[in-house]
A = this chain, B = another copy of it.
Amino acid sequence: MTLSPPRPRKQPRQRRAIETCAAIIEAAARILEGGGPEELNTNRIAERAGVSIGTLYQYFPDKQAILVALIRREREALLQEMRAIPQESGDALRAMVDASIRHQFARPDLARSLELIEVSFPLDAEAAAMAHEIAAISSGLLARRFGRIDQTDLLTAVVMGRALVNAAGQGMIPFEALAERVVLAIAGYLEKVAGRSAAGAGN
């Protein structure tokens, strides 16, 4: 895992190659699900994907690249769901929270592992752009209910929400009524700060 950018590998052209590529990413996902980041090594990934180690390196310049591709795959899935939420929805906040929870609990162990990895990880430009879009969508959805929100307050709300969903995914807090609790937490905070700035404006 060096920091120097490795030269890019060839793009798969034939159908078989594309499948191989996907198999490698999915193999990494499965290993993360069943054992955590320290079990994840390139030889194991290749074996689990049913390809040779050489094949793996045809498509991914290094181990990190596989993880980046996996993170992108997962984020893309969440993004799809969030893009699909109608802005005029009666309860957009709830829809957003539901999407997050669905995503997290679809493959909770995977989500947990990736969470861990992402924080200690220099994401590439595309991954950063995705994170940005998620934030933008959240902002838009929340604005409808809570009015114009300070950037910091929005971030705070998102951090809170993510933390609660993750905590539930890790079994720290129960899954029961999770969505409601997350919505309450976010709403509680945003109403409070709305009140604060209103009061501040009133002075």
Q: B-contacting residues of A (Cβ < 8 Å)?
A: 1, 36-38, 116, 119-120, 152-153, 155-156, 159-160, 162-164, 167, 170, 172-174, 176, 181, 184-185, 187-189, 191-193, 196
Contact = CB atoms under 8 A, between A and B. Distances in A.
8 contacts: A1-B38, A116-B120, A152-B181, A153-B181, A159-B163, A160-B163, A163-B163, A188-B191
A158 to B, nearest CB: 9
Q: Helix, strand, loop or mixed for chain A's interface?
A: helix
B173 A184 contact: no
A148 to B, nearest CB: 18
A199 to B, nearest CB: 12
Given A1-B38, A189-B185, A189-B189, A167 B159 contact: yes
